[in-house]
């Protein structure tokens, strides 16, 4: 049976013109023609038209209808897109309902809402639709729905305070300017859902629309004053770490380069949200720009100032408060930086059982080679890594000049220096047993650092110890008579048994150096070893470094630690335990230690790295604990 176009239109409620349009766009063409050239529709055509009408009722555009009708099987992505579209419509309808309900509430108040309120709201909506995308409008509406009138009230109060402060002649660098500028930055973060690209568009909207300035009380002059106040507040956080001259220099750099941060943060956020991996060249390019802009914005080529700035960022989390910056972004950028500055690959013996052991030795030697003045003197360090590795190091100094390499050797130098300073104090009290737990390529026993009658016990895994002794022979380093090797697996054998076999005197005090080991052990194994030390003779003590629990660090430190843990796990050396300082101190006291001293990153930087001009800095992802019986 064939239907003419007029009959089909009548039965379906469509117009002939609509059916002509469907034919013209290729959505529904008749299967036949009469002798006079009139359109004739078959049963299949009628079924296709019914499908078209259903899709139209669901709101599908014509292009999507064609794709759905042409496909042998339905395209799930089209369904997903349409569901998402309907979800947005539902949210927008709900937000409009919420806005109307708030207006109704205002109308019921004594003052009520006059026609001016209605018109101002309509004007602002029109201007926002002109400058912002539907997705950006959705973000603003969602924040508004979540916080109700709170953000609007905060905006009105803050702009009124800023207007009054500017009228009084307050400057952006004064207390009022800094306080209001900081509050303004936090308010923009809340209004935009921490979307820096949206914040920039709002700035452009108010710059371009004088009527928006009148309605919301925000002028370009006020925006400049508040932005300058935020910059001064940001720089004020650096004051405890910088001289007045350095503060002025940083402020000048911030004014020059600060605006570029919003653009870069927006690009980085977009790349991360698009799923760009940190190993991708796009991510690494953004990381390079981030590092360059960080330098331009704060210290330039001044290494001493760089060290102070990096210390401030680690110790003052509020310095990371910028629109668009959050922990996921920090982690992503930091991971990309690590790909830019890939850890130095040593040329160690492929049979070495612990990659970290040789890596530590190389960076300890790098400290002797590149850093002046040295924090820690180790005349055996270069010989310990072997001639081939030493020559490669001298030939590639740039591999050791990046922040990651400098941070690592800062930590290694500081922990070794503190340990041997504490040993010197113990030796003055008559301690003559020095125990190195997890010795690796430690050089203490080979460079005459101990008193002549001191016995040095090197404790390590049997396979690591065999490798070290073979490596010593290859490097031409003799084994002193005072060094005794104690092969022990911390998690499988007792330390007491191994030391007994090597001649350890339990009735005499001993000094235990335990560096770069605890984080690789299960907490129970670490506590067993510490319990053994606590049971030693009076005057004994232990120095060990440990990884901090996340709650004890700021977001930047957490990101640095996460990157370190990822690299170690990839090398087959996962971090197994982290501690909160106060909790660890309590556990040590419970084991029987009489004196417990936790050395923080801040204290260690003051003690060993203050006033340096090369940028060495001890990051706060670990502490060093000293406990005495």
Together in a domain, 482 and 363: yes
List the strands of the sheet with 622-628, edge to edge: 483-487, 455-460, 433-437, 511-514, 541-547, 622-628, 595-599
Its domain, for residue 88, covers 76-102
Whole-number pLDDT of residue 78: 60
What per-residue confidence (pLDDT) applies to 70? Answer: 79
Q: Is the pLDDT assigned to residue 75 strictly greater than 70?
A: no
- Closest by Cα among 288, 391, 302 to 341: 288
Tokens of 367: 């400290």
* Pairwise CA distance, residues 231 & 334, whole Å: 24
In a shared domain, residues 44 and 185:
no
209: CB partners within 8 A, 6+ apart: 127, 131
Same domain for 12 and 98:
no
Helix axes 355-370, 387-395, angle to 10 degrees: 50
**Quick check: is 543 in a domain?**
yes
Three-class secondary structure of residue 430 per DSSP: coil
| SS3 category, 611 | coil
Under the phi-then-psi rule, with left for phi > 0, alpha for psi from -120 to 50, and beta for the rest, what region is 168? Answer: alpha
- Mean pLDDT for 109-118 is 61
Asked whether 498 and 459 are in contact (CB, 8 A), the reply is yes
Query: Do 377 and 469 share a domain, yes or no?
Result: yes
- For range 245-255, the mean pLDDT: 93
The answer to whether residues 546 and 411 belong to one domain is yes
pLDDT in tens, 300-319: 999 889 888 988 888 888 99
Confidence of residue 233 (pLDDT cuts 50, 70, 90): very high
CATH assignment at residue 526: 3.40.50.150
C-alpha 612 chain-centroid distance:
27
Before 347, cis peptide (omega within 30)?
Answer: no
Q: Cα angle vertex 176, ends 175, 178, to 5°? A: 65
Same domain? 306 vs 446: no
DSSP secondary structure code for residue 398 in this structure: G
Mean pLDDT of 35-40: 88
Average pLDDT of span 229-250: 94
- Top-ranked range on mean pLDDT: pick from 399-408, 428-437, 554-563: 428-437
Q: Are residues 185 and 303 in the same domain?
A: no
Highest mean pLDDT out of 38-42, 326-330, 623-627: 623-627
Same domain, 158 and 272: no
Q: What is the DSSP letter of 607?
A: I
| 3-state helix, strand and coil shares in percent for the chain, rounded to the nearest 5 | 65, 10, 30
- Domains in the chain, number: 5
For residue 69, what are the β-bridge partners? none
* Residue with the two structure tokens 């330098």: 295
Q: In terms of domains, do 319 and 407 share one? A: no
Helices of type H across 341-402 = 355-370, 381-385, 387-395
Exposure of 193 by Cβ count < 10 A (0-12 exposed, 13-18 middle, 19+ buried)?
A: middle
- Residue whose structure tokens are 């030391």: 499
- pLDDT (mean) for 176-187: 96
Per-residue pLDDT at 615: 80
Query: Is the pLDDT score of 113 beyond 60?
Result: no
What is the spatial distance between Cα 264 and Cα 273, in angstroms, rounded to a whole number? 14
The tokens describing 44, both together, are: 């299949």
155: its two tokens: 């905006």
C-beta of residue 536 within 8 angstroms of C-beta of residue 509: yes
pLDDT at 109: 64
Average pLDDT over residues 594-619: 91
Within-domain flag for 241: no
The better pLDDT of the pair 92, 321 is held by 321
* The predicted structure's pLDDT at residue 134: 82
Averaged pLDDT of the chain: 89
Assigned domain for 249 exists: no
Rounded to an integer, the average pLDDT of 273-277 is 95
Asked whether residue 435 is domain-assigned, the answer is yes
Separation of alpha carbons 368 and 372, rounded Å: 8
Q: Which residues, at least 6 apart from 448, have a Cβ–Cβ distance to it below 8 Å?
A: none
pLDDT at 612: 84
DSSP per-residue letters across 163-189: HHHHHTT--TTSHHHHHHHHHHHHHHH
Distances (CA, A) of 1 to 8, 381, 394, 472: 12, 97, 91, 98
Domain stops at, among 340, 370, 400: 340
533 and 586 belong to one structural domain: yes
CA distance 39 to 164: 75
Considering the domain architecture, whether residues 17 and 42 belong to the same structural domain is answered as yes
Residue 158 domain-assigned (yes or no): yes
Residue 455 per-residue DSSP state? E
Share of the chain above pLDDT 70, in %: 91
**Element containing residue 595 per DSSP (H, E):** strand 595-599
Is residue 261's pLDDT more than 90?
Answer: yes
Ordered strands of the 39-41 beta sheet: 3-4, 39-41, 32-33
| C-beta of residue 554 within 8 angstroms of C-beta of residue 317 | yes
Q: The tokens of 401 are what?
A: 């000049």
Distance CA 359, CA 366 (A): 11
**Coil, strand or helix at 125:** helix
Separation between Cα atoms, residue 178 and residue 218, nearest integer Å:
18
Going by C-alpha positions, the residue among 453, 438, 442 that lies closest to residue 420 is: 442
**Placement of tokens 């490596």 in the chain:** 471
In a domain, 250, yes or no: no
pLDDT in tens, 477-536: 999 999 999 998 766 778 999 999 999 999 999 999 999 999 999 999 999 999 999 999
Please tell me the predicted confidence (pLDDT) of residue 103. 61
The pLDDT of residue 152:
84
Residue 385 belongs to a domain: yes
Closest CA to 337 of 370, 292, 301: 292
> What's the CA gap between 488 and 252, in Å, rounded?
58
Are 315 and 422 members of one domain?
Answer: no
From the CB of residue 215, how many other CB atoms can be counted at a distance below 10 Å? 17
Distance CA 67, CA 47 (A): 17
The answer to whether the beta carbons of residues 593 and 563 sit under 8 Å apart is no
127 is a domain residue: yes
C-alpha angle with apex 297: 403 to 282, nearest 5 degrees?
65
Would the CA dihedral through 389, 393, 396, 400 be positive or negative? Answer: positive
Please report the pLDDT score of residue 275 as a whole number: 95
- pTM for this one? 0.72
Whether the predicted pLDDT of 572 surpasses 90: no
39-41 and 433-437 beta bridge pairing: unpaired
What are the structure tokens assigned to 497, written together? 């048994």
C-alpha to C-alpha distance for 460 and 462, rounded to whole angstroms: 6
């Amino acid at each position: 049976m064939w239907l003419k176009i007029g009959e089909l239109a009548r039965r379906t409620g469509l117009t002939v013109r609509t059916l002509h349009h469907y034919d013209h766009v290729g959505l529904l063409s008749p299967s036949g023609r009469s002798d006079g050239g009139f359109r004739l529709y078959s049963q299949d055509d009628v079924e296709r038209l019914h499908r078209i009408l259903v899709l139209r009722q669901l709101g599908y555009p014509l292009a999507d209808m064609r794709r759905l009708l042409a496909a042998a099987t339905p395209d799930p992505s089209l369904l997903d897109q349409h569901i998402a579209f309907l979800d947005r419509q539902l949210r927008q309808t709900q937000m409009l309902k919420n806005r109307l309900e708030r207006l109704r509430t205002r109308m019921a108040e004594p003052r009520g809402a006059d026609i001016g309120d209605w018109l101002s709201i309509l004007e602002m909506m029109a201007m926002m639709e002109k400058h912002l995308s539907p997705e950006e409008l959705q973000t603003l509406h969602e924040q508004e729905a979540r916080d109700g009138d709170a953000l609007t009230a905060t905006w009105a109060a803050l702009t009124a305070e800023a207007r009054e402060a500017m009228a009084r002649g307050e400057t952006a660098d004064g207390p009022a300017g800094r306080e209001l500028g900081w509050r303004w930055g936090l308010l923009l973060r809340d209004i935009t859902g921490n979307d820096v690209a949206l914040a920039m568009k709002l700035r452009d909207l108010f710059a371009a629309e004088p009527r928006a300035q009148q309605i919301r009380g925000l002028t370009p002059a006020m925006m400049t004053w508040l932005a300058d106040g935020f910059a001064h507040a940001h720089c004020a956080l650096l004051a405890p770490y910088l001289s007045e001259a350095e503060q002025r220099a940083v402020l000048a750099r911030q004014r020059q380069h600060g605006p570029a941060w919003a653009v870069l943060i927006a690009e980085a956020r977009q790349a991360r949200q698009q799923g760009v991996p940190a190993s991708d060249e796009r991510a690494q390019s953004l990381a390079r720009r981030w590092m360059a802009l960080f330098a331009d914005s704060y210290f330039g080529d001044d290494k001493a100032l760089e060290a102070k700035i990096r210390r401030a960022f680690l110790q003052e989390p509020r310095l990371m408060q910028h629109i668009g910056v959050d922990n996921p972004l920090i982690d992503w950028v930091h991971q990309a930086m690590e790909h830019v500055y890939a850890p130095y690959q040593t040329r160690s013996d492929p049979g070495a059982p612990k990659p970290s052991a040789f890596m530590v030795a190389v960076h300890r030697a790098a400290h002797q080679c590149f850093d002046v003045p040295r924090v820690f003197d180790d005349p055996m360090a270069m010989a310990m890594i072997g001639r081939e590795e030493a020559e490669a190091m001298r030939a590639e100094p740039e591999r050791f000049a990046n922040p990651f390499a400098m941070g690592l050797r800062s930590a290694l130098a500081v922990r070794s220096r503190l340990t041997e300073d504490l040993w010197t104090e113990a030796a003055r009290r008559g301690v003559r047993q020095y125990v190195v737990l997890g010795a690796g390529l430690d050089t203490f026993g080979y460079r005459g650092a101990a008193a002549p009658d001191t016995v040095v016990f090197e404790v390590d895994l049997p396979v690591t110890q065999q490798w070290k002794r073979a490596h010593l022979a290859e490097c031409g380093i003799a084994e002193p008579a005072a060094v005794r090797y104690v092969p022990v697996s911390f998690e499988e054998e007792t330390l007491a048994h191994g030391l007994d076999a090597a001649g350890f005197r339990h009735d005499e005090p001993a000094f235990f150096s335990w560096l770069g080991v605890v984080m690789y052990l299960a907490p129970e194994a670490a506590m067993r070893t510490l319990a053994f030390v606590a049971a030693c003779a009076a005057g004994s003590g232990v120095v060990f470094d440990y990884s901090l629990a996340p709650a004890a660090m700021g977001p930047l430190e957490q990101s640095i630690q996460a990157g370190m843990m990822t690299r170690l796990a990839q090398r087959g050396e996962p971090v197994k335990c982290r501690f909160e300082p106060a909790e660890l101190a309590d556990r040590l006291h419970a084991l029987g230690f009489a004196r417990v001293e936790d050395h923080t990153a801040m204290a260690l930087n003051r003690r060993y790295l203050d006033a340096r001009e090369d940028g060495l800095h001890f990051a706060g992802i670990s502490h060093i604990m000293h406990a005495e019986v």
